[in-house]
């Protein structure tokens, strides 16, 4: 049985964006592991105290000499040991992690328990675990590395105790007005969905595909979802062959990249996607073409489906073509599911 340890660090119970995204992650994880166990710690509801002189002495003592002082720390470490996957949802507070999350780490990062001090350096003792960090913030990362000490800290401290396989999900612009906030939310949700799409949920590959062919086609599919959720028609058109054809029942057929770009720009003006999830079922190669069929699930913002263009569940057929620059979308078709 798999175990998910979920740590929520937001001080807010209602209206917390990072908790809401952690809810989505947990729902996807439970879909993937229906028998799995979830251990949930909300640091706002159940705070971990800051370190004290007595506690540090207890950590340094051995066996019975520790007394009851280290009981909470022992319990938190035991939860961590039991976990196969650790999920941390954490907002940026004044450029860093919320202090309750720092206190949680101060209780679980313990010499001889989760790391060892060895002659040639420190060694993390928690092998074989994966972690996902949902890092939320009100604004945008400036890219200077001086306004977000949270993400580097979390990666470093998890690696310190031996958890090196860490997926970072960034949820930005939570303090921005709609539709900026909604678009940023959809992008973060897509990052979570892609974590689950990655493991085993790919199509059945029929015919000769090299590893590079598969990677390129997977990247096209991922790039398409990113571009659609961000409403970036240019990025979407860049994934397409020069003579791309878009065939959607009830709408005029579109042929050629220029017409495709215009059509998508118009579409994104009138439709805002909350999520776009693809489940490729099979892909078959025939020469320099590959034909994929699958299902796509589309969620629109309340006001974002003006004209009712999109059904929530669609079957799709895509043709990819191997062009000089690599694989590209050549034909995009979709039909609503009954």
Ligand X SMILES: Cc1cc2nc3c(=O)[nH]c(=O)nc-3n(C[C@H](O)[C@H](O)[C@H](O)COP(=O)(O)O)c2cc1C
The residue range among 14-22, 39-47, 189-197, 281-289 that interacts with ligand X, by the rule CB under 6 A, is 14-22
> What whole-number distance in Å separates Cα of residue 287 and Cα of residue 280?
20
Report which DSSP code applies to 95: T
Q: Which is nearer to ligand X, 72 or 175 (CB)?
A: 175
CB 111 within 8 Å of CB 29: no
Other C-beta atoms closer than 10 Å to the C-beta of 117 total: 9
The residue range among 10-18, 36-44, 270-278, 304-312 that interacts with ligand X, by the rule CB under 6 A, is 10-18
List all residues 6 or more positions away from 137 whose beta carbon is below 8 Å from its beta carbon.
91, 92, 148, 170, 171, 172, 173, 174
Strands 254-255 and 240-247: antiparallel
The nearest distance, CB 95 to ligand X, in angstroms, is: 5
> What whole-number distance in Å separates Cα of residue 333 and Cα of residue 313?
13
> What whole-number distance in Å separates Cα of residue 185 and Cα of residue 301?
11
Q: Which is nearer to ligand X, 109 or 135 (CB)?
A: 135
Give the HSE-up count for residue 8: Cα atoms under 13 Å, Cβ half-sphere: 23
Alpha carbon 94 to its chain's center: 23
The nearest distance, CB 176 to ligand X, in angstroms, is: 10
Other C-beta atoms closer than 10 Å to the C-beta of 18 total: 25
Among 4, 6, 10, 133, binds ligand X (CB under 6 A): 10
Beta bridge partners of 246: 254, 332
26 binds ligand X (CB under 6 A): no
Q: Which is nearer to ligand X, 12 or 251 (CB)?
A: 12
The nearest distance, CB 14 to ligand X, in angstroms, is: 9
175 binds ligand X (CB under 6 A): yes
The nearest distance, CB 296 to ligand X, in angstroms, is: 29
List all residues 6 or more positions away from 44 whose beta carbon is below 8 Å from its beta carbon.
8, 9, 10, 11, 12, 13, 100
94 binds ligand X (CB under 6 A): yes
Site string for ligand X, 133-162 (x = CB under 6 A): ---xxxx-----------------------
The residue range among 47-55, 86-94, 282-290, 320-328 that interacts with ligand X, by the rule CB under 6 A, is 86-94
Q: Residue 172 corresponds to which tokens in the numbers above?
A: 């930005």
**Count of residues touching ligand X (by CB under 6 A):** 17
Phi/psi at 76 (5° precision): -65, -40
Among 61, 95, 201, 269, binds ligand X (CB under 6 A): 95
Q: Which is nearer to ligand X, 19 or 110 (CB)?
A: 19
Q: Which is nearer to ligand X, 16 or 275 (CB)?
A: 16
Q: Which residues bind ligand X (CB under 6 A)?
A: 10, 12, 16-19, 91-95, 136-139, 174-175
């Amino acid at each position: 049985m798999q175990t998910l340890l979920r740590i929520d660090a937001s001080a807010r119970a209602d209206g917390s964006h990072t908790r809401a995204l952690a809810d989505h992650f947990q729902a996807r994880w439970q879909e993937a592991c229906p028998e799995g166990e979830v251990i949930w710690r909300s640091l706002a509801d159940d705070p971990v105290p800051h370190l004290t002189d007595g506690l540090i002495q207890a950590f340094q003592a051995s066996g019975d000499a520790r007394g009851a002082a280290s009981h909470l720390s022992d319990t938190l470490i035991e939860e961590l040991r039991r976990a196969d996957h650790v999920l941390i949802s954490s907002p940026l507070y004044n450029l860093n992690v919320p202090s309750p999350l720092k206190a949680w780490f101060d209780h679980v990062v313990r010499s001889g328990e989760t790391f060892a001090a060895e002659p040639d350096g420190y060694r993390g003792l928690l092998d074989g675990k994966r972690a996902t960090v949902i890092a939320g913030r009100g604004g945008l990362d400036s890219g200077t590395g001086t306004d977000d000490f949270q993400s580097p800290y979390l990666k470093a401290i998890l690696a310190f105790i031996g958890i090196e396989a860490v997926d970072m999900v960034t949820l930005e612009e939570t303090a921005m007005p709609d539709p900026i906030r909604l678009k940023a939310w959809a992008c973060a949700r897509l990052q979570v969905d892609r974590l689950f799409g990655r493991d085993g949920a790919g199509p059945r590959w029929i015919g000769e595909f090299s590893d590079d062919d598969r990677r390129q086609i997977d990247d096209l599919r991922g790039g398409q979802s990113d571009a659609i959720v961000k409403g970036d028609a240019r990025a979407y058109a860049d994934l397409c062959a020069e003579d791309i054809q878009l065939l959607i029942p009830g709408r005029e057929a579109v042929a050629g990249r220029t017409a495709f770009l215009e059509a998508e720009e118009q579409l994104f003006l009138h439709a805002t996607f909350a999520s776009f999830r693809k489940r490729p079922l099979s892909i078959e190669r025939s020469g320099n073409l590959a034909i994929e069929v699958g299902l796509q699930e589309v969620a629109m913002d309340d006001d974002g489906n003006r004209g009712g263009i999109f059904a929530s569940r669609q079957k799709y057929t895509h043709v990819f073509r191997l062009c000089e620059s690599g694989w590209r979308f050549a034909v995009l078709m979709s039909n609503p599911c009954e």
